[in-house]
Chains A and B, each alone.
Chain A
Amino acid sequence: MNSNNTKKLLLGNEALAQGAIDAGISGVYAYPGTPSTEISEYIQRSKIAKELKIHSNWSVNEKTAMEAALGMSYAGKRALTVMKHVGLNVAADVFMNMSVSGINGGLVVVVADDPSMHSSQNEQDSRYYGKFAMIPILEPSNQQECYEITKYAFDLSEKLSLPVLIRMVTRLSHSRAGILTSERVEQNQIHLPKNKHQFQLIPIHARGRYKHLVDIQSDILEISENSYFNEFKEGSNTSIGIIASGIAYNYLMENFDGEECPYPVLKISQYPIPKKPVKKLLETCKKVLVLEDGYPFIEEAISDFLNESKNVIGRLSGDIPRVGELNPDNIANALGFDIVINENIPKVVSGRPPELCVGCGHRDLFDAINHLGKEMGSQQVFGDIGCYALGALSPFESINTLIDMGASITMAKGAADAGIHPSVAIIGDSTFTHSGMTGLLEAVIENTPITVIISDNSAIAMTGAQDSSASGRLIDICKGIGVADEHLIVITPLHKNLQENIDLIRNEINYKGVSVVIAQRPCVQLPKEKKDKLNELKKVSLN
């Protein structure tokens, strides 16, 4: 097959994707989200994936993605579904239930967490979700392990007939190293579930399935305790024992820079937390330092409730900062090593936060919104997830809220219900099809006085201008949901149209019902051919 001895230089995300291809997947289902995006993009670009007809088109959101992956698994084939941590909240319904039904063809859920919130609203730790669903969790520590753990995950999934969660973190997702690949496994043939009631989660069958899930927990623990990816390394100095999970292991070893670590170390890359080696560490060492990126998941589990013995330290004890990502330096501190820093950042250096691109249509939209805000006095603008979230920052400071995908429309509705006017929602085209459509329907049903501005740049821009499910469909969708024709308008956010746009939006704000303004201008990050095509399409739809 295609095994070879030359190393490929791959991001952690790409190594994982190559692992999935070589594990014989028949499809990847995902919605873009930093830091997870490159996994699906790698498969989309892969020649071999194309030849093998591996499905890789973007899904509309994480829930549709995971459900489609489950459907492929039902058919007996292996499927991968990928999202960022907050995307798992969207897919939580199917995620929690498919651990009860179990799977047929191997199903692996990859969730990329974002400790330090480089590109996110929170730093939630997906390991809690894995524990919640009572399924195995894998947490690679380096790029080679990303590749190997993914292949293993599919075998484990089929062995247990359960979905398996792989947890990534930003720094591993977005760091490159040389990777050795191994043989590719052929794709599964279609084969239907043996038990025809397995996927029928009506109470009478669900109870049996759930009992089964509970019963096999001891097996799942035993597999974890014997896993190749969990490793106990002896050390002569037992004044402290160290547990390092995932990428934390690298930061730990960095501090010994090629020398042997004198302390016993338990490296964890598979969960449930392996009890036997943890017990050994607690019994033989005076103290145990827990190093984990994200929440204190292991530390909380192995500390006694009142922590009176104070023999477990980490983020909860304050030895490691409770928030933000790990790095070699905060681990050096916890180990009691001195860090030598010769320089500080000179005072002359200014901050440089991200900003909207020069020539971005969102800029001209915010100009119009801000003008109306001054005019109207108490205008409230509910924002959403995407590049236009940067409208919260200077120089625009146009939006008041930013919570989750789709919340702009529903929050605007709730605020309008409370009596606020003008109540304006700003949402991107892709975010609208991801999670905004249902909220718009709700507003239409009550004809709530809100103005929804869909800032349509025909791309999932923030994550790299991927194709948007909304492209060319927005007007039909809004009409279909029931927005009145006379309050569904399209504008072009360009500086030369500023006054006209202000007047048009003002009219809609003054209308005491649901109005939708589609502000259409292709993302500047799109290639020229695509922009030209979109502008053509727009002319046609307007005529």
Chain B
Amino acid sequence: MKTNIILAGVGGQGILTIAAVIDTAALDNNLHIKQSEVHGMSQRGGAVQSHVRISDTEIFSDLIPQGKADIIISVEPMELLRYLPFLKEDGFLVTDSNPFVNITNYPELEDLYKEIKLHKNSILIDAKQLAKDIGNSKATNMVLLGAVSSLLPISDESLQKAIKTLFERKGEKIVNKNLEAYEKGKEIAVEFIS
């Protein structure tokens, strides 16, 4: 089975942390992985994306073909919509509702939300606020990861273990905040994923 995930955001927002957790957990489960990322000029405040592919069989392309993404995870609502041509018909959309406004023609938020809600499988959450409630707004990414965790072909335990591994050198407190954020995401997603 192959799972294709697109991570979206703006350069500097740290979408690669989400990728790193998924990769680490997948590698730990002996799954095949390919994960492409963007370095260089676009990283400077531009639109960036990462394609993450996990499978129990060989993966060829580093890029996900159009119309083949199972999940698009975005840390920003407009960036989520940029990658819609990649989404499968029954694919999932997950995004933080907080905009990152660094352009003068940023659209009306309500228009973006309306567009997102057109999709039956969309999870629009204030992940930043949930992370803040825990006391670490940097853990927004882990809230989003928690929200999609049930859609991934990796066990909950493996994902938690990967979070521990990745944040280990930052100390126990940071590890726990990130685990808490992950749990929060899982809880909130229950109402969206039946």
Which A residues form the contact surface with B (CB < 8 A)? 7, 9, 11, 34-35, 37-38, 118-119, 171-172, 174-178, 247, 249-255, 258, 327-329, 332, 339-346, 348-357, 387, 390, 462-464
Contacts and interface: CB of A to CB of B under 8 A. Distances in A.
A350 B107 contact: yes
A349 B45 contact: no
Given A328-B63, A339-B67, A340-B67, A354 B81 contact: no
A341 B67 contact: yes
Contacts of B27: 7, 9, 178
B85 A356 contact: no
Contact of B78 (A176, A249, A343, A349): A349
A7 B24 CA distance: 11
Contact of A35 (B32, B40, B81, B105): B40
A38 B35 CA distance: 15
Interchain residue pairs A-B with the least CB separation, the first 8: A119-B40, A34-B40, A354-B46, A254-B61, A175-B62, A175-B36, A343-B84, A328-B65
A11 B34 CA distance: 9
Contacts of B57: 258
B118 to A, nearest CB: 9
A167 to B, nearest CB: 16
Contacts of A390: 41, 44
A171 B40 contact: no
Contacts of A176: 23, 33-37
Contacts of B35: 175-177
B66 A339 contact: yes
B41 A119 contact: yes
A332 B105 CA distance: 35
Contacts of B106: 350
B16 to A, nearest CB: 10
Contacts of B63: 171, 251, 327-328
A119 B62 contact: no
Contacts of A357: 44-45
B87 A342 contact: yes
Q: Which of A250, A339, A346 has the most CB of B within 10 A?
A: A346
Interface residues of B, number: 49
A310 to B, nearest CB: 28
16 contacts: A119-B40, A171-B63, A174-B39, A175-B37, A177-B32, A178-B33, A253-B60, A341-B66, A341-B67, A343-B85, A345-B81, A352-B46, A353-B46, A354-B41, A354-B45, A354-B46
B102 interface: yes
Contacts of B78: 348-350, 352
B46 A346 contact: no
Contact of B60 (A250, A355, A356): A250
Contacts of B43: 354
A118 B38 contact: yes
Residue among B40, B57, B85 with max Cβ neighbours from chain A (10 Å) = B40
Contact of A462 (B41, B60, B85, B112): B41
B187 interface: no
B102 A352 contact: yes
Contacts of A344: 84-85
A353 B112 CA distance: 19
A12 B59 CA distance: 15
A118 B44 contact: no
Contacts of A7: 27
B144 to A, nearest CB: 19
B112 A329 contact: no
B115 interface: yes
Given A34-B41, A174-B38, 19 more contacts: A7-B27, A119-B41, A172-B62, A174-B39, A249-B60, A251-B61, A252-B60, A344-B84, A345-B81, A345-B84, A348-B81, A349-B107, A350-B78, A354-B41, A354-B46, A355-B44, A357-B45, A390-B44, A464-B39
A9 B41 contact: no
A340 B23 CA distance: 28
Contacts of A329: 65-66
B112 to A, nearest CB: 6
Nearest to B80: A349
Contacts of B111: 348
B172 interface: no
B42 interface: yes
A9 B46 contact: no
Interface string B119-145: 000000000000000000000000000
Contacts of B88: 342
Most A CB atoms within 10 A — which of B44, B85, B105, B111? Answer: B44
